[in-house]
Amino acid sequence: MINAKTKKYIEDLLKKADVKINGKRDWDIQVHNELLYNRVLAEGILGLGEAYMDGWWDCKKLDVFIEKVLSARLDKQVKGSAHVFWSLLWAKINNMQTKVKAKKVGEQHYDVGNDLYKAMLDKRMVYTCGYWKNAKTLDKAQEDKLDLVCKKVKLKPGMKVLDIGCGWGSFAKYAAEKYKVKVVGITISKEQVKLAKELCKGLDVEIRLQDYRDVDEKFDAIASLGMFEHVGYKNYREYMKVVKKCLKDDGLFLLHTIAGNTSVVSTNPWLAKYIFPNSMLPSAKQITSATESLFILQDWQNFGLDYDKTLMEWYNNFVKAWPKLKKNYNNRFFRMWTYYLLICAGSFRTNSLAQNQLWQIVFSKKGLDKVYEGTR
């Protein structure tokens, strides 16, 4: 049953973000099922996303809609159901990123299909933020990012490098090709291991299906690109201890991660359910607390706005490839994946409000013999 007061409340709420229900502008939402209002008020962010997947509403420019909603802080005004409260409480009580539970994101997200990622990503299959400072294409932005990482950890021929969360081997392959280093890449995704081994064939690269907690050997440098979001706040300190144990005394460690300005213990409930189970974004406080007495901070760079461009490129590639992809995925998946890419793009676009950020942080185990010069 539709409650007129609920509809009016949602209409007034959206006005604060300059969004109109069934309006004519690209960012106005088109409502196909008026039960949407009750659902959003009862279930918040989770209900809004699930209703989109169910076809209850549409928006021509979903990324702009999300940008406006977040800029107006409407997400803080509609909290959601008891389900969200209990999920938050559960995350505080339990370690949701144990070795067993950590495998869930590999199975649900990274194993969804290599055909999807081949179509969506750049030619090197880099599934992290590109660096757009001097780039006009996705391929160039991703190569520039990989080179930025290599330069920041001061790679030299003959070094042995650990890539924690190696994906499809993009960084491992680039570093081995361009900097003549040996790379060990680890991931918890079986599909990534399979394709990464194929893409890195003939290079001094070893790809392993392995949890970071099981690595026990020394490396000249360590990089982790877009994996720390899956570690969980209960494991940050353990993660850093593993890195310290595996890094040689004169080595450098680079952490590339999406982050937030506030310490949290869980993530957006819709993203947690459908895209990245058991994930969460770290804060500066959580990262520095986890590294205290273990590492010396050498460099910290934020280029979160570049993720907006990267996500929109991924979205455009996904839509372009959909006629070929749809034989393996249904229309509900198309709406889910569209929603995922565009709400993330919109959230990074509100970087000035510290919704989402992208950090590259460089650490050393001991003091350096000269001032660290950060590459940009």
Q: Are 102 and 188 in contact (CB under 8 A)?
A: yes
**Element (H or E) spanning 298, and its range?**
strand 296-302
Q: From the centroid of its chain, how far is CA 96?
A: 17
What is the C-alpha separation between 307 and 131, in angstroms, rounded?
8
Q: From the centroid of its chain, how far is CA 85?
A: 23
Q: Which amino acid belongs to residue 151?
A: K
**Residue 264, both tokens:** 């949290």
3-state helix, strand, coil in the chain (%, to 5): 50, 15, 35
Q: Which amino acid belongs to residue 314?
A: W
Buried b (16+ CB within 10 A) or exposed e, 205-236: bebeebbbeebeeebbbbbbbbbbbbbbbbbb
Residue count of the chain: 376
Tell me the C-alpha to C-alpha distance, in Å, between residue 13 and each of 31, 48, 61, 106, 133: 15, 14, 19, 37, 37
The label of the residue with tokens 């990089």 reads 223
To the query of whether residue 200 is one of the catalytic residues in this protein, the response is no
What is the C-alpha separation between 372 and 365, in angstroms, rounded?
13
Query: How far apart, in Å, do the first and last CA atoms of the chain sit?
Result: 56
- Residue 59, helix vs strand vs coil: strand
Q: Which amino acid belongs to residue 321?
A: A
Which residues are the active-site residues?
A: 344
